[in-house]
Amino acid sequence: MTSSISYTLGTEVENLVLGGSAGISGTGNGGDNVLTGNGAANTLTGLAGADFLDGGAGADTMAGGLGDDTYVVDSTGDVVSESGGDGTDTVISSIAYTLATGLENVTLTGNAALNATGNAVANIVTGNDGDNALAGLAGDDRLTGGGGNDRLDGGTGADAMAGGSATTPIRSTMSVTPSTRPAATASTWSTAA
């Protein structure tokens, strides 16, 4: 379904693409929806279901609601909101990004040197092909560097960290000497060759 005016999907319709050049709204239904904005500042609301929301080039406001939602962020003006406990939500970002409360995972795209930061819950933070600085903060996080010379900082919690294909410095909150091994509850790490 394509619409150049604000539109709410009816039942039995899964996808909505906003057309035109005006900043308009698109709202899903109880199903798994794909909502795509135009080049203006759009408001996308997914409601229930595992929704995929991509606001397009403008400074967009996106809310997925219940379900495991995925958001595409490509502007520093993009706002993603989740109330938490609504599912496992993922942000796919081509810019530096810090997860807000209610979001669980962030994946960086492209090959630019970007930063990604988690929040107070267990996060999955994944880098791109550039030189990334990834931080998990609190929670039992999983950080994966991707390509490039990445910097990983798990923060507090029992974190798992893996570097990418280049040299990756890893910071942990525990102390390790060559004669000791990390405890099972401490941070673990590896770097790929």
Q: What mean pLDDT is predicted for residues 92-108?
A: 97
Question: Is 85 within 8 Å of 104 (Cβ atoms)?
Answer: no
Q: Tell me: pLDDT of 120 over 60.
A: yes
Question: Is 38 within 8 Å of 16 (Cβ atoms)?
Answer: no
| Residue 91 CA to its chain's centroid (Å) | 2
DSSP string computed for 84-114: SSS---EEEESS-EEPPTT--EEEE-SSS--
Question: Is 137 within 8 Å of 118 (Cβ atoms)?
Answer: yes
- The predicted pLDDT at position 41 comes to 98
Q: Strand 43-45 relative to strand 2-3: parallel, antiparallel, unpaired?
A: unpaired
| Of 106, 100, 74, 59, nearest in space to 44 by CA | 59
Q: Tell me: pLDDT of 74 over 70.
A: yes
Cβ-count burial of 184 within 10 angstroms (0-12 exposed, 13-18 middle, 19+ buried)?
exposed
**pLDDT per position as a tens digit, 143-163:** 999 889 999 999 999 999 998
